[in-house]
């Protein structure tokens, strides 16, 4: 797999640049698994005031990002890549999740993120130059930069060699429609709460069974919608059946 190049088109490069300089993301840059850069859309404005926004036709509140600087910025970013996908950050796009992160990580295309500001961007840019529209959730933020960084972060940790073996993305939450099990580290007792003794037992079979139950319980309580999608194995069905019977007994007491 080659290097994935992330380009973030933004009016606020200073928000984005430090993101590539810390933690696991900067290690991925150092290992040449990814590159990351911001491009200031304002640099592609042609008037002497460097205007990038204008009033919406038909009236209404707020301003919109003008199409010309955006189009020039997108085309310049595309020219630097043989195989790229232009992704517009918008609350109106398809919702980002772990499945989409896995999909984008597997494609190994260069990704160009277009970050809106103001009330959004001129619709004609979406029609001609954008390959994909993605939202990070059903809420509206002031700009697309955080959304782009969320997506880049989630994709990067899935790329081979990024987590370096000390952590694996395979057991993370949302892989196979379940949440990860509860986790503990030292000390063994903290504020009168003990680490479950099985985790100190060294019995790997028992630890795996405990983790499976913990994962199942969390998913059932916190995200039953995931469990409904999951292909349950025999052991999980048995555990769930026992819990149902215990609940029934409790209700009938
Ligand atoms: C104030 S928002 C514009 C919202 C737009 N008026 C609407 O109602 O759909 C400005 C910019 O923030 C970004 N943005 C806001 N919320 C987002 C979300 N949930 N996911 C992705 N991008 C978002 C987009 O780039 C958007 O163009």
Catalytic residues: 91, 119, 157, 172
Per residue in 155-185, pLDDT (tens digit) is: 999 999 999 765 678 889 999 999 999 999 9
What tens digit of pLDDT does each residue of 19-52 get?
999 999 999 999 999 999 999 999 999 999 999 9
Judged by DSSP in three states, 187 sits in coil
The residue whose CB lies within 8 Å of the most ligand 1 atoms, and thus the one to mutate among 62, 140, 146, 152, is 140
Which class for 90: exposed (0-12), middle (13-18), buried (19 or more C-beta within 10 A)? buried
Q: Which DSSP string corresponds to 191-232?
A: TTEEPPGGGGS--HHHHHHHHHHHHHHHHHHH-HHHHHHS--
Query: pTM above the 0.85 mark?
Result: yes
Structure tokens at 229: 């999608």
pLDDT of residue 127: 94
Length of the chain: 253
CA distance 16 to 31: 20
Backbone φ and ψ of 26, nearest 5°: -70, -30
Question: How much is the pLDDT for 7?
Answer: 98
- Residue among 53, 144, 146 to mutate when testing ligand 1 (max atoms within 8 A of CB): 144
189-252 under CATH 1.10.1270.20, yes or no = yes
pLDDT per residue over 50-101, tens digit each? 999 999 999 999 999 999 999 999 999 999 899 999 999 999 999 999 999 9
If one counts every other C-beta atom within 10 angstroms of the C-beta of residue 134, the result is 22
From residue 37, alpha-carbon distances to 10, 84, 124 in Å are 10, 14, 25
The domain locations on the chain are: 4-156, 189-252
CATH classification of 4-156, choosing from 2.40.30.110, 3.40.1280.10, 3.40.50.620, 3.30.420.40? Answer: 3.40.1280.10
136 marked as binding residue? yes
Two structure tokens written together for 226: 């995931």
Task: Please indicate if the annotation marks 2 as binding a ligand.
Answer: no
pLDDT in tens, 197-243: 999 999 999 999 999 999 999 999 999 999 999 999 999 999 999 99
Residue range 241-249: mean pLDDT, rounded: 96
Confirm or deny that 137 is annotated as ligand binding. yes
Residue 138 neighbours by CB under 8 Å, 6+ apart:
91, 95
pLDDT digits (tens, 9 = 90+) for 113-166: 999 999 999 999 999 999 999 999 999 999 999 999 999 999 999 999 999 765
């Amino acid at each position: 797999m080659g290097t994935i190049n992330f380009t973030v088109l933004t009016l606020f490069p200073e928000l984005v640049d430090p993101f590539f300089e810390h933690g696991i993301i900067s290690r991925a840059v150092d290992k040449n698994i990814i590159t990351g850069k911001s491009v200031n859309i304002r640099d592609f404005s042609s008037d002497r005031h460097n205007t990038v926004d204008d009033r919406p036709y038909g009236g209404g509140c707020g301003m919109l990002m003008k199409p010309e600087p955006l189009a020039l910025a997108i085309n310049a970013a595309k020219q630097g890549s043989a195989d790229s996908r232009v992704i517009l950050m918008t609350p109106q796009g398809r919702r980002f999740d772990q499945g989409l992160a896995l999909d984008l990580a597997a494609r190994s295309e260069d990704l160009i993120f277009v970050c809106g500001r103001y009330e959004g961007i001129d619709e004609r840019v979406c029609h001609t130059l954008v390959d994909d529209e993605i939202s990070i959730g059903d809420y509206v933020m002031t700009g697309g930069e955080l959304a782009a960084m969320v997506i880049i972060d989630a994709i990067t940790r899935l790329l081979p060699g990024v987590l370096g073996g000390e952590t694996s993305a395979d057991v993370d939450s949302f892989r196979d429609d379940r949440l990860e099990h509860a986790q503990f580290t030292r000390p063994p007792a903290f504020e009168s709460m003990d680490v479950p003794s099985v985790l100190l037992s060294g019995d790997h079979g028992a630890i795996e069974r405990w983790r499976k139950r913990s994962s199942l319980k969390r998913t059932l309580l916190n995200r039953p919608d995931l469990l409904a999608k999951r292909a349950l194995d025999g052991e999980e069905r048995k555990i769930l059946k026992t819990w149902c019977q215990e609940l029934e007994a409790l209700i009938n007491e």
